[in-house]
């Protein structure tokens, strides 16, 4: 295959990765931005979204698009509920202390993974894409569903932007992010905002999981690589900055696509991790993060 | 925290002592007429990326155990198997061997599958001087990389699996092959042995595409398949294989495409009729043990399937959506029967006989077809500690793998790379 077609394929693949990463990483970025905590269980929520999509689709039966739409609606809700419970029962009890939250969410991740193994099993399960459409280019074929994923991610991220910038809920979240004490003084129930944000972050990860599951499969260990990449994206973009996260997702996704295609995926991961190291050394606040005094 | 008062501590110790004695009296210890049970350790991939195999390995082993115990056990002693999860993790693997032998007092350990876990665990078995029977198909054992305590009597190694595939592929599919394999020992073995044998038969490997074992997306690799490839040879393991096939189908679509030859490792525990796998229709696979019961199946095939709970299509009798890892799980059944045969021949009495047991195993050659060896008749090579078996080729027809070819045991032979019998224990 010629250089041109290879580059095109690389960019298309990279765009799909960027789309999924953008969704997953925004959830992580939001949680850190507002709550100032690191959620190591984020990959587990992503995985739960995929697993829940399988469960919903299998239970509903019927035409594929119906199962998929139901999954898109129900899986993030279920995962958000679980995350909210986790925040109320665990994180609130440790007052969202940073180190304690890291340890607690590691434990949560293990519990979710092993629980999924016990209930869902060790096998990878497929979920059919809502529609079968192949784009046939002169040099290669491409799944139409993958292009849909990119489109869906763009729509969802626009919705997220509107929510953060234009809605009251977004205003409350941004206020809490700026200064939780002042927000409290203004009558905002910070604990409730935290639970809501944690749940919302998990829901974003779960949506990413639902979108990806027809492309990959649902498997109880699938959260690990997403977790790593989400962290890379969030650190490079700037903790707490959504535009930064989106830009970083695009950079990481496209570069991964190109480097993987022309060299090797391992090299792509090495470079992504190197980028994080450089950012941490030279610009710890990331591309767009505010430097903390 | 205030320390317990001295009297309190003594009371607890006394209570513990009493409880221990009471428990000893209650435990089913061998007293009098009943013979002491024989305890074997099984290193199981219950979790981790090998978990799909682990489930079926456990199920098959338990079925074999039941069969053996119902027939009187080994040397009149009931057999117990202790399953320990190694999480398909090399580090944990050697800890599991340790635990099974030193804490749980098992006579030997068997069952390990993934080659990286085998590599990490076998040395520990060697240090502990305990027979270690793997169900792995890795080539490291007959290559001489392991120790005299390690044996593989239940399943052929990849070199033996690959060799007889090559002439069939060259004759029926093509001679210019692009290889896709996972980038670790198991995949490297496929790369090396297939290339070596294909070159012997006048063919050529036009691409060697190594994929990280944890990869989830494969489209980027297909771009590397050269135009002149007549055959794509694929052996993928792990949960991503379904994606692999789907993306292969997306990439080539209905246009011109090379022939496919895969190893069923790609599809173990996967339903071949799953939507998205249509691209495999008409393509061929190596199978260790045909998943769909062949028309000319041996007389013991039905009994074996009933015992392990699998129907004629290779699915669980309890759930038709639950597909067995049928191409590999027979190895655990056959290994347990091999252990029985060797222990009886050696009149095994306990850990002091472990070395004698291995020496007895080394002397075994013929393993005829029967309920003990339902995959087929075998020949055990005592020098390389490796068994040789028939191999099967199947074609996907109407979504199901149908056996089309069976190789002779001798087709797999290659020169011995090691003679463990000359090595020290």
**Cβ contact (<8 Å) for A260 and B47?**
no
CB of B162 within 8 A of CB of B193?
A: yes
Say yes or no: A222 contacts chain B, CB-CB below 8 A. Answer: yes
- Pairing of β B132-133 and β B176-182: unpaired
Where do we find the tokens 């398949």?
B225
**Cβ contact (<8 Å) for B240 and A124?**
yes
- Write the pLDDT tens digit of every residue in A4-48: 888 999 999 999 999 999 999 999 999 988 888 889 999 999 999
Residue B8: per-residue pLDDT: 59
Say yes or no: B5 contacts chain A, CB-CB below 8 A. Answer: no
Same topology, domains B38-157+329-389 and B160-297+391-410? Answer is: yes
Say yes or no: B184 contacts chain A, CB-CB below 8 A. Answer: no
Residue B33: per-residue pLDDT: 46
**Cβ contact (<8 Å) for B242 and A142?**
no
Per-window interface: A 126-185 vs B, CB < 8 A: 126, 128, 134, 136, 140-143
Strands, DSSP E only, in A137-228? 141-143
Greater confidence, B236 or B301? B301
From the list A126, A141, A219, the residue facing B250 with the nearest CB is A141
CB of A143 within 8 A of CB of A135?
A: yes
From the list B240, B252, B275, the residue facing A216 with the nearest CB is B240
Give how far B155 is from chain A: nearest CA, Å.
23
- Residues of chain B with Cβ-Cβ distance to A114 below 8 Å are 47
- Write the pLDDT tens digit of every residue in B78-134: 999 999 999 999 999 999 999 999 999 999 999 999 988 999 999 999 999 999 999
Say yes or no: A122 contacts chain B, CB-CB below 8 A. Answer: yes
- Residues of chain B with Cβ-Cβ distance to A219 below 8 Å are 239
The count of other CB atoms within 10 Å of the CB of residue B303 is: 13
The count of other CB atoms within 10 Å of the CB of residue A118 is: 11
Residue B30: per-residue pLDDT: 45
- Residues of chain A with Cβ-Cβ distance to B216 below 8 Å are 216, 222, 225
Q: Which residue of B has its CA nearest to A145?
A: B250
Per-window interface: B 11-50 vs A, CB < 8 A: 47-49
Angstrom distance (rounded) from CA A39 to CA A28: 7
Taking CB atoms and an 8 Å cut-off, how many pairs form between chains A and B? 83
Q: Which residue of B has its CA nearest to A260?
A: B220
The count of other CB atoms within 10 Å of the CB of residue A243 is: 13
- Write the pLDDT tens digit of every residue in B129-162: 999 999 998 899 999 999 999 999 999 999 999 9
- Residues of chain B with Cβ-Cβ distance to A266 below 8 Å are 212
From the list B48, B239, B250, the residue facing A217 with the nearest CB is B239
Say yes or no: B350 contacts chain A, CB-CB below 8 A. Answer: no
From the list A142, A221, A265, the residue facing B250 with the nearest CB is A142
User: What is the signed CA dihedral for A74, A76, A80, A83, rounded to 10 degrees?
Assistant: 120
From the list B38, B48, B60, B72, the residue with the least C-alpha distance to B111 is B60
The answer to which of A17-21, B220-224, B298-302 has the lowest mean pLDDT is B220-224
pLDDT higher than 60, residue B24: no
pLDDT higher than 50, residue B32: no
Say which CATH class B160-297+391-410 falls into. Answer: alpha beta
Give how far A154 is from chain B: nearest CA, Å.
21
Q: Which residue of A has its CA nearest to B238?
A: A124
Say yes or no: B215 contacts chain A, CB-CB below 8 A. Answer: yes
Give rounded-to-5 percent helix, strand, coil for chain B: 40, 20, 40
Taking the domains of chain B in order of start, what are their residue ranges?
A: 38-157+329-389, 160-297+391-410
Say which CATH class B38-157+329-389 falls into. Answer: alpha beta
What is the overall mean pLDDT for chain B?
90
**Cβ contact (<8 Å) for B269 and A123?**
yes
Sequence-ordered list of residues with C-beta below 8 angstroms from that of A231, at least 6 positions apart, any chain: A28, A276
Q: What is the pTM of this model?
A: 0.78
Please, what is the Cα angle at B110 between B104 and B113, to 5 degrees?
125
- Residues of chain B with Cβ-Cβ distance to A215 below 8 Å are 217, 243
Interface test with B, best of A122, A216, A269 (most B CBs within 10 A): A122
- Residues of chain B with Cβ-Cβ distance to A216 below 8 Å are 216-217, 240, 243
Angstrom distance (rounded) from CA B156 to CA B376: 11
Give how far B207 is from chain A: nearest CA, Å.
14
Q: What is the pLDDT confidence band of residue B9, given thresholds at 50, 70 and 90? A: low
- Residues of chain B with Cβ-Cβ distance to A128 below 8 Å are 275-276
Angstrom distance (rounded) from CA B329 to CA A95: 50
Q: b/e map of B190-221 (b: 16 or more CB within 10 Å)?
A: bbebbbebbeeeebebbbbbbbebbbbbbbbb
| Distance set, CA B168 to CA A207, B175, B281 (Å) | 47, 10, 19
pLDDT higher than 50, residue B25: no
Per-window interface: B 218-277 vs A, CB < 8 A: 219-220, 222-223, 239-243, 246-247, 250-253, 255, 269-270, 274-276
| CB < 8 Å & 24+ apart, contacts of A51-58 | A51/A116, A51/A120, A51/A209, A51/A218, A51/A220, A52/A78, A52/A79, A52/A206, A52/A209, A52/A210, A53/A127, A53/A209, A53/A210, A53/A213, A53/A218, A54/A120, A54/A125, A54/A126, A54/A127, A54/A213, A54/A218, A55/A120, A57/A127, A57/A128
pLDDT higher than 90, residue B327: yes
**Cβ contact (<8 Å) for A219 and B239?**
yes
Angstrom distance (rounded) from CA B298 to CA B374: 8
**Cβ contact (<8 Å) for B47 and A122?**
yes
pLDDT higher than 70, residue B17: no
Q: Which residue of B has its CA nearest to A134?
A: B250
> If you write DSSP's letter for every residue of B245-291 in order, what string do you get?
HHHHHHHHTTS---EEEEEGGGGTTS-TTSTT-GGGTT-EEEESS-S
For chain A, what's the residue count?
A: 293
3 state SS of B418 = coil
Q: Which residue of A has its CA nearest to B45?
A: A122
- Residues of chain A with Cβ-Cβ distance to B207 below 8 Å are none
Q: Which residues of chain A have pLDDT under 70?
A: 290-293
**Cβ contact (<8 Å) for A261 and B49?**
no
- Write the pLDDT tens digit of every residue in A147-183: 999 999 999 999 999 998 899 988 998 888 888 889 8
- Residues of chain A with Cβ-Cβ distance to B49 below 8 Å are 221
Give how far B139 is from chain A: nearest CA, Å.
26
Sequence-ordered list of residues with C-beta below 8 angstroms from that of B401, at least 6 positions apart, any chain: B264, B272, B285, B287, B290, B291, B292, B394, B395
Say yes or no: A96 contacts chain B, CB-CB below 8 A. Answer: no
Q: Which helix (H) or strand (E) holds B402?
A: strand B400-406
Q: What is the pLDDT confidence band of residue B245, given thresholds at 50, 70 and 90? A: confident
Residue B85: per-residue pLDDT: 96
Residue B31: per-residue pLDDT: 44
Interface test with B, best of A126, A144, A255 (most B CBs within 10 A): A126
């Amino acid at each position: 295959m010629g250089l041109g077609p290879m580059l095109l394929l690389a960019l298309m693949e990279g765009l799909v990765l960027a789309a999924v990463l953008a969704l997953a990483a925004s959830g992580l970025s939001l949680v850190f931005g507002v709550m100032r905590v690191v959620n190591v269980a984020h990959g587990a929520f992503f995985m739960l979204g995929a697993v829940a999509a399988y469960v919903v689709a299998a239970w509903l039966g019927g035409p594929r698009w119906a199962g998929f739409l139901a999954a898109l609606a129900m899986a993030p809700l279920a995962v958000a509920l679980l995350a909210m419970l986790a925040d109320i029962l665990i994180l609130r009890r440790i007052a969202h202390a940073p180190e304690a939250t890291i340890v607690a969410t590691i434990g949560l991740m293990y519990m979710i993974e092993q629980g999924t193994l016990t209930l869902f099993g060790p096998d990878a399960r497929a979920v059919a894409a809502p529609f079968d459409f192949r784009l046939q280019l002169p040099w290669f074929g491409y799944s139409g569903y993958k292009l849909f994923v990119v489109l869906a991610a763009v729509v969802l991220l626009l919705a997220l932007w509107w929510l953060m910038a234009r809605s009251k809920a977004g205003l409350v979240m941004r206020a809490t992010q700026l200064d939780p004490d002042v927000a409290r003084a203004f009558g905002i129930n910070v604990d409730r905002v935290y639970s809501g944000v944690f749940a919302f972050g998990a829901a974003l990860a779960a949506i990413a999981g639902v979108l990806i599951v027809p492309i990959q499969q649902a498997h109880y260990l699938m959260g690990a690589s997403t977790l790593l990449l989400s962290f890379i994206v969030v650190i490079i973009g700037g903790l707490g900055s959504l535009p930064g996260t989106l830009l970083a997702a695009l950079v990481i996704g496209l570069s991964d696509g190109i480097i993987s295609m022309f060299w090797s995926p391992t090299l792509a991961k090495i470079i992504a991790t190197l980028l994080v190291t450089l950012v941490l050394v030279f610009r710890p606040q990331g591309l767009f993060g505010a430097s903390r005094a | 925290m205030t320390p317990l008062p001295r009297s309190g501590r003594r009371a607890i110790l006394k209570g513990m002592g009493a409880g221990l004695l009471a428990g000893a009296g209650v435990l089913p210890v061998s007293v009098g007429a009943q013979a002491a049970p024989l305890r074997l350790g099984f290193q199981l991939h219950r979790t981790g990326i090998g978990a799909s195999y682990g489930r079926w390995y456990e199920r098959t082993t338990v079925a074999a155990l039941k069969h053996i115990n119902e027939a009187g056990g080994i040397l009149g002693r009931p057999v117990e198997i202790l399953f320990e999860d190694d999480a398909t993790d090399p580090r944990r693997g050697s800890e599991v061997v340790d635990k099974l032998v030193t804490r749980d007092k098992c006579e030997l350990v068997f069952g390990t599958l993934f080659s990286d876990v085998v590599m990490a665990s076998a040395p520990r078995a060697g240090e502990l001087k305990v027979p270690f029977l793997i169900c792995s198909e890795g080539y490291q054992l007959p290559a001489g990389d392991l120790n005299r305590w390690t044996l593989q009597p239940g399943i052929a190694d990849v070199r033996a699996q690959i060799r007889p595939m090559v002439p069939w592929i060259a004759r029926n599919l093509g001679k210019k092959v692009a290889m896709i394999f996972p980038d670790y020992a198991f995949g490297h073995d496929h790369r090396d042995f297939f290339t070596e044998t294909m070159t012997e038969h006048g063919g050529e490997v036009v691409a060697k595409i190594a994929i990280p074992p944890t990869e989830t997306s494969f489209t980027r690799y297909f771009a590397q398949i050269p135009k002149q490839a007549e055959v794509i040879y694929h052996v993928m393991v792990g949960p991503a294989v379904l994606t692999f096939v789907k993306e292969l189908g997306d990439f080539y679509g209905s246009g011109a495409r090379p022939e496919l030859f895969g190893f069923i490792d790609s599809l173990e525990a996967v339903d071949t009729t799953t939507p998205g796998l249509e691209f495999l229709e008409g393509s061929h696979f190596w199978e260790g043990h045909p998943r769909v019961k062949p028309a000319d199946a041996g007389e013991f095939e039905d009994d074996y399937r009933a015992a392990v709970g699998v129907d004629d299509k290779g699915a669980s009798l309890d759930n038709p959506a639950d597909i067995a890892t049928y191409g590999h799980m027979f190895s655990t059944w056959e290994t347990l029967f091999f252990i029985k045969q060797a222990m009886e021949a050696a009149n095994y009495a306990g850990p002091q006989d472990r070395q004698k047991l291995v020496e007895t195993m080394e002397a075994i050659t013929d393993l005829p077809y029967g309920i003990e060896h339902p995959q087929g008749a075998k020949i055990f090579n005592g020098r390389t500690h490796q068994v040789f078996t028939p191999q099967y080729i199947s074609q996907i027809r109407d979504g199901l793998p149908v056996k089309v070819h069976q190789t002779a045991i001798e087709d797999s032979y290659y020169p011995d790379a090691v003679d463990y019998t000359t090595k020290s224990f």
